[in-house]
Amino acid sequence: MTAIKDALSETVDGLGNELEALSHRIHANPELGYQELKASAWLSEFLQAKGLKVERGVAGVETAFRATLETGEGPTIAILCEYDALPGIGHACGHNIIATSGAGAGAALAAVKDRLPKGRIQVVGTPAEEGGGGKIRLIQGGVFNEVDCAIMIHGFDRHLLHQDLLGIVRVTFDFTGKAAHASADPWEGINALDAVIQTFNAISMLRQQVRPDARIHGIITNGGSAPNIIPEATSAVFYVRAASLDYMWEIYRRVVACAEGAARATGAELRVTQGEMVYEPLKRNQTLLDLFKANLERLGVKEEEPIPDRLGSSDIGNVSQVIPAIQPLIKVAPTGTAIHSRAFAGAAVTPLARQGLLVAAKAMAMTTADLLASPAVVRQAKDEFATAR
């Protein structure tokens, strides 16, 4: 495999300018979940030009795609791409790098197709990670039914092989009160904003009684129309996260109870809407992580110290619950740069981001080649998956 890996590395380097330009293009044109028409088209066109067979709109999701490279009968390995942006702050999660590094890995593998072991490689475009659950829709649509293992990376401020992800459920609270003049006759009104504020206060108190790895956070999406009108309709959205789904649902029920109590206390009516897409925790697969680690080290990259309290959520967790899957973190921003920040968005188009993009593309391509060459290791990853909690 040494010669193949050297060729993969050289190919990615040769694609460097093209990949960076594509990454910058996606970054400059941020699109929200399920609206990534430009990004998915650019990635599909790039992969098709490199020799992969591209299917668009897979699983009935307009901005999803699957680009396939077949070398014969063998394992099927998926390389996943994300390319949706965040509202207001664009690519502050670096999905432009996730997308182009996955596409770069697929293009590099296509360039050495005649030398690869037998199997099937699929570069899968997965929309709407930022709350829309694109991977969940692809799971439901059968995209991963024939996939043996999946790999993707995420940009970060350091190199880490694995970071735990929390399960997450989203909930919307809509309160309905009664409008009245806030000065002339406020006693005639029922203040729906009071219900929202009481909900926030009750949840703030609840936080003292939850485990350290749980998270509850929310925003007011509608706080009323004018200060001189008692608010008759208000809304808030909360995210509830935990390391286990059982505990997540336990906290969720308590959060809903906070809103119900606020509604009773203020006299407002409450409508509770649970978010459709529930993200699951990331199931660790050490077999795949060890392969990826060896390839990172081959590239001169060492894993850094993990940060135990930086816990997010992603729909890659759902994929990891149905097949072996990993999401190593690759340094693309200066140490200490928080994701979902404007600083991270700015970092995602710097020379450091280019360096991380190329390292990620090489490591994913090499790990995919390893898996094609070693069906026994694929079986080992699947056996570990089957016995892991």
Q: What is the pLDDT of residues 323-353, one digit of tens each?
A: 999 999 999 999 999 999 999 999 999 999 9
CA angle 49, 104, 46 (to 5 degrees): 25
In single-letter form, the type of residue at position 128 comes to A
CATH architecture of 2-165+281-387: 3-Layer(aba) Sandwich (3.40)
Q: What was the pLDDT predicted at 269?
A: 98
In the chain, where are the structural domains located?
Answer: 2-165+281-387, 173-274
Q: Cα separation of 231 and 211, whole Å?
A: 35
Q: Cα separation of 271 and 175, whole Å?
A: 7
Rounded to the nearest integer, the mean pLDDT of the chain is: 96
Tell me the CA distances in angstroms from 314 to 153, 183, 208, one per residue in order: 12, 46, 25
Per-residue burial over 53-89, b = 16 or more CB atoms within 10 Å of its CB, e = otherwise: ebbbebbebebbbbbbbebeebbbbbbbbbbbbbeee
Residue 330, CB-side half-sphere exposure with 13 Å CA sphere:
35
Structure tokens at 107: 């293009």
Bridge partners, residue 189, by sequence = none
Q: What is the pLDDT of residues 163-184, one digit of tens each?
A: 989 999 999 999 999 999 999 9
Single out the residue of 232, 104, 248 nearest to residue 176, CA to CA: 232
Q: Whole-model pTM above 0.85?
A: yes
Q: What is the pLDDT of residues 202-226, one digit of tens each?
A: 999 999 999 998 999 999 999 999 9
Tell me the CA distances in angstroms from 360 to 82, 88, 104, 294, 363, one per residue in order: 14, 27, 9, 13, 5
- 14: pLDDT strictly greater than 90: yes
Query: At which residue do the structure tokens 């024939």 appear?
Result: 146
Q: Cα separation of 220 and 238, whole Å?
A: 9
2-165+281-387 and 173-274: identical CATH topology: no
CATH architecture of 173-274: 2-Layer Sandwich (3.30)
Give yes or no for a contact between 193 and 231, defined as CB atoms under 8 angstroms apart: yes
